Structure 1
C-alpha cells in the first residue's frame, strides 16, 4: 500500500524552522481496478469557479537539474498568471528538496511529498503536486481564516493518494480530491501523471488511460482533470483521450491540427528523426476548458571543462497552462 501526505507551510516567516503542519489522510488501495460506475450526482449548476493549472515535465536527466527546476519555478510563480494548481513530472530527490526549501512555495502552497522521500525511493524520479493555499484548504478552520466567512469559498481537500499503475517503469498516478464549497457531497479529482515512455509500451499507456478515466467515474466523483506527460508518441496514443470519454483541452480550444500545440522536440533536431510532438496533455471530464497555452522553456548555460559553455533549454518538454471552470 502506497499512501501520500500533503503538508501545508505554516507561514512565510517560519522558513528557517522548517516546520510543516501535517494533513490527515485516508488510506487507499495501491492498485486500482477498472470501475464502470456512472458519473455521480450533479451539483448546483448556478455555482461556477474558475481554476488554473500548469503542468510541466521538468526533465530529470539533462545537466543541472536543480538549477533548471528553479528557473522553471521562477518562470511559473513570478509571471502574471501564477497557477492555482501545479503538476510537476520527473522530479528527482534533489529537486524535491529544492522545491520544499523555496520560500515562495512554503508561503503560498500546499505540497505533496513533503514528509519524506518514500515516493522517490527505487525510482529515478516522481511527480509532485502543488496547490495554492489561497484557493484550497485542508480544514474548516483554515477555510474560515482565509475567507473570513462561514463556509468560505475555498475548495476543501479530500483524499490524497499515490496509486500504482500497471507499468514497465513503475509509474503511478498522484490523486488529489477537491470538494467544492457549495457541494460537500461530491468531489472533483486532480490526477498528475507520467505515463509509460517509448513506443514499446503503448499497451501499458492504453491500460493506464482506461484506469484513469474510470477513476473519474467513481461514485461521488463529478469529474476532474488528468494532466501531465502522456508520452503520446504515436497516432494510437492520440486516440486514447477520446476513446475513454475524456475531453482533450487543447483540441477543444485549438483543434487537433494546430502546429503550436507541440510540447516536446520543439526547435530541436534529433538524430532518430522524431519531430515535435504533443506528448503532454490535459484531459478533462465534467469541466470546461476556457484558455490554454504552451509555455516554452528558456535557456541555461552548462559549463564544459576546457571548452566554451553550451546553452540547453530548462527542459526537453514545454509546459502547459490551462484555465477551466467547475
Structure 2
C-alpha cells in the first residue's frame, strides 16, 4: 500500500531572529545509555474550556518531573495550543519540536499531533532529513534524528501518523521509528482503526527499519479493538508489564459518569516492535478552575484522557 509522506525538519526557536530555525542541539549530552528511552504520550483534549491553560498545566507537569521524558507525543493540539507550546520557555530550551515552521498539518482539521524530542538525547546530522552514520556526532551514545514525516491514513476524520526516524550512528542503515497517532474516533469507525493499525505495523517492518513504537490515542472503544495489536504481531506494552488489569490501566472515562453509559477504557496505548518495555504508568490529570459568569466556578480535569509514561529499550 502506498503512503503519502511529507518531510519536515525539526526546529528550535532563535530568540534573536524571531524565526523558527535549526539550533545546534549538541550542547548538552545525557550519559543515559542511548538504547533506553522514555516516552510520555497525552491526548490533551481540544474541546473542553480553557484549552491553552489546560495544555500548559499538562506540559508543566510533564516537564517538571524529576526526569523529564526523552520523547513527548501530544494529540488533539489546536492551532492556538500549538502557538502557545512553541513559545513555552521549557520547550524552547529543552526540546526539538515538529511542525514548528508552518501550520500545514493543522489545515482543514480541528487538531493535529505534535512530537517533542529532548535536546539532551537527540542530535541533528549535517542534513537532519537525511542523517546517516557518516554524520559528525559528539559522543558514541547520541541518537541522530532522521526523516520526519506525516503519513496520510484512510480515515473519516482526516487522521494521519506523525513519524520520526531515529538512527544510531553505529547501526549502519537501520532506523528505529517513533509513530505518534490519533486513530479514528467512536465505535462506528472500527474498520478505519483496523486499517490504520495494519498500515502502521507494516511501516515498522519496512526495509531499513529495525522496529519502533506506535503510541497515542488508539480510540480503543469497542471490544473488537482489543485484538488489533496482537493481530498485527505487535506487543502491547501495558499488558506485557501489567497484564490485563482492567480499570487500573484505563486512560479515559476515569472518575466520570458519562451519559452514553460507557465506562473507563484503555483508549491510549503503546504498541512495540523490536524493543522491550521496561516500565509503564498511567498519569492522572489534575484539575483546573473554569469561571462561569453569574455562577459558581466549576473544576474540570486537565484533559478527558490520562497520559501514559513508558520507558523502553531497543
Counterpart mapping for 1:171-182 below 5 A: 171-182=159-170
Q: TM-score, normalised by structure 1?
A: 0.87
Counterpart mapping for 1:21-36 below 5 A: 21-22=21-22
* 1:281 aligned onto 2:269: yes
The separation in 2 between residues aligned to 1:126 and 1:141, in whole angstroms, is 26
The separation in 2 between residues aligned to 1:258 and 1:166, in whole angstroms, is 30
Q: 1:312 to 1:302 in 2, by over 3 A?
A: same
Among 97, 101, 112, the alignment partner of 1:115 is 101
Counterpart mapping for 1:281-300 below 5 A: 281-300=269-288
Check conservation: 2:98, 2:115, Cα contact below 8 A.
yes
* Cα offset, 1:15, TM superposition: 3.4
The separation in 2 between residues aligned to 1:70 and 1:275, in whole angstroms, is 27
SS of the residue corresponding to residue 11 of structure 2 reads: strand
* 1:261 aligned onto 2:264: no
Check conservation: 2:123, 2:137, Cα contact below 8 A.
no
1:5 alignment partner in structure 2: 8
* Cα offset, 1:48, TM superposition: 6.5
The separation in 2 between residues aligned to 1:262 and 1:285, in whole angstroms, is 22
Query: Which digits, 9 at most, give the CA deviation of each residue in 1:117-137, with x for residues without a partner?
Result: 111011000000000011111
Mind listing any 5+ residue stretches in structure 1 that lack a counterpart?
24-46
* Cα offset, 1:182, TM superposition: 1.9
Mind listing any 5+ residue stretches in structure 2 that lack a counterpart?
24-32
Q: 1:150 to 1:4 in 2, by over 3 A?
A: closer
* 1:162 aligned onto 2:165: no
Check conservation: 2:290, 2:300, Cα contact below 8 A.
yes
State the Cα RMSD in Å. Answer: 2.0
1:203 alignment partner in structure 2: 191
2:111 alignment partner in structure 1: 125
The separation in 1 between residues aligned to 2:291 and 2:16, in whole angstroms, is 32
The separation in 1 between residues aligned to 2:263 and 2:47, in whole angstroms, is 20
* Cα offset, 1:2, TM superposition: 5.4
* Cα offset, 1:237, TM superposition: 0.3
Query: Which digits, 9 at most, give the CA deviation of each residue in 1:226-259, with x for residues without a partner?
Result: 0000000111101000000000000000002343
Runs ≥4 residues deviating over 3 A: 14-17, 140-143, 148-152
Check conservation: 1:4, 1:112, Cα contact below 8 A.
no
Among 290, 305, 308, the alignment partner of 2:293 is 305
The separation in 1 between residues aligned to 2:171 and 2:137, in whole angstroms, is 16
2:39 alignment partner in structure 1: 53
Counterpart mapping for 1:204-283 below 5 A: 204-283=192-271
The separation in 2 between residues aligned to 1:15 and 1:159, in whole angstroms, is 26
* 1:79 aligned onto 2:65: yes
2:26 alignment partner in structure 1: none
1:136 alignment partner in structure 2: 122
1:185 alignment partner in structure 2: 173
Aligned length: 296
* 1:318 aligned onto 2:306: yes
Check conservation: 1:53, 1:322, Cα contact below 8 A.
yes
The separation in 2 between residues aligned to 1:21 and 1:79, in whole angstroms, is 28
Check conservation: 1:295, 1:321, Cα contact below 8 A.
yes
